[in-house]
Amino acid sequence: MSVNITHDHDNETLKSIGSVEGDWMARFSPVLAEIRGGGISNRRRAGDIIRQLIRVFSYRAYREGLMAGGVDGDTLDDEDTIAIDAHIKAQSAFVSNFTSVLFKEGISDDEAKQKAQLWFDGSIKPAYYMALESADTNGLYLWVTNAAESCESCDYLRGQIHRLKAWRKQDLFPTSSKLICKMACKCELVRASGKPTGSLGNVPTG
């Protein structure tokens, strides 16, 4: 088996979504702190602010995904816009649940620390993979594990190469709810060349 990964492209890909992640953490955490501190005392207003952040960052992640797939991220077509808007709309109910918890019961400091990451993994990062699929559905992608330890699903997928549409058809992408590690997944799908490798038939799922 020979795996030939296009290294330059990968590094660029990982860096681009990484910078969206860093900016998200820098923006979301202070907003959450302000809500918890009583600086934003109206639940509706808090929800609007979070929804607006999700909108801005979902678009950014989507553009990064297009670029990672080799398409100019500045020109979203109608299909892209419909897909991303549907994704953003689908996050709205999660925001309502979240602000309900924030305003009724509150969350602990530890929970607050985890929330920014959870929202990125659950609501922003999926937009990146949606765009990647739109741009490069027939491209070959290699499953790479980044964490020191990965779950059974990701251990099974490590090193496998498939067309992006094959991965997506099985709902297998990093942070997918189908994985045992779910949103905690730190894996990446990176563009590879060569041939499809491995099987998606018996993936241990969560």
Of 67 and 181, the one with the shorter C-beta distance to Zn ion is 181
CB of 154 to Zn ion, least distance (A): 3
The smaller minimum CB distance to Zn ion, of residues 59 and 129, is found at 129
Q: Which is nearer to Zn ion, 99 or 150 (CB)?
A: 150
Whichever of 80 and 121 has its CB closer to Zn ion, that residue is 121
Gap between the Cα atoms of 111 and 30, Å rounded: 14
Please state, in angstroms and rounded to a whole number, the distance separating the CA atoms of residues 41 and 44.
9
Q: Closest distance between Zn ion and the C-beta of residue 114, in Å? A: 17
Q: What are the start-end ranges of the E strands in 56-197?
A: 140-144, 161-163, 188-193
Q: Which residues bind Zn ion (CB under 5 A)?
A: 150, 154, 181, 185, 187
CB of 169 to Zn ion, least distance (A): 18
Nearest approach, Cβ of residue 148 and Zn ion (Å): 12
